[in-house]
A = this chain, B = another copy of it.
Amino acid sequence: MTDPLFENVYKQALPFWKDLSEDDRDFICRHSVARSCPAGAHLHDGSECSGVFFIRSGSLRVYMMSEAGKDITLYRLYPGDICMLSASCVIQAITFDVFIDAEEDSEYFVIGAPAFAALSEREPKVRIFALETTVSRFSDVMWVMQQILFMSMDKRLAIFLADECARTGSDTLRMTHGQIARYMGSAREVVSRMLKYFSNEGIVEASRKGVRILDKKRLRDLTL
């Protein structure tokens, strides 16, 4: 019998679920495991094929890394999101590696890569879903690239602060300058300098513990 823990979640979240045979549903549930991890845990290191991640709670950060250990955030995964790049062996056309860490204490399901690959081989709808999920991440990455390559630092930082405040529903970001820099793919000094500039302008109040937004309107103007 299909495990109701996975079944109940997948039937809501996976658009192809209703088109699968009873056997295939059972197959996927049998090859699923529920995991949890503390904030900061490394979940995927690029070279392995860890399986398809299905995020249940918390958040994961997907990033690329240079040989020198410098990293840049590509996108984040939140509850309900599915990660195909952790199972790049499922999709031949993916020839690059990413890294995935937990940003918060997180819970997630993992569907084993060979099981998912086998199903996507025989079910075009599953394969299309996997590919479309990947292509929409391509869109995210192109956006990041645009930010990094073309936008001035003040605009990038303003967008980051505005997005984080919108996401958390708070005016205060409890992050160090170093953390902000890592998220933005920048250097701590650059972020500190720009935050000092924003402070001087009365847009934010920056301390070692975090950043508080004082003037939302001007911050928003900077993002345009």
Interface check A91, CB cutoff 8 A: yes
Interface check A21, CB cutoff 8 A: no
Interface check A25, CB cutoff 8 A: no
Q: Is the interface of A mostly helix, strand, loop or mixed?
A: helix
Interface check A8, CB cutoff 8 A: no
A144 to B, closest residue via Cβ: B145
A59 to chain B, nearest CB (A): 21
Interface check A185, CB cutoff 8 A: yes
Q: A134 vs B137: C-alpha distance in the bound complex, in angstroms? A: 11
Interface check A31, CB cutoff 8 A: no
Instruction: Give the segment of A121-129, A171-179, A207-215 that binds chain B.
Output: A121-129
Residues of A within 8 A of B (CB): 64, 66-68, 70, 72, 91-96, 124-125, 127-128, 131-139, 141-143, 145-146, 148-152, 185
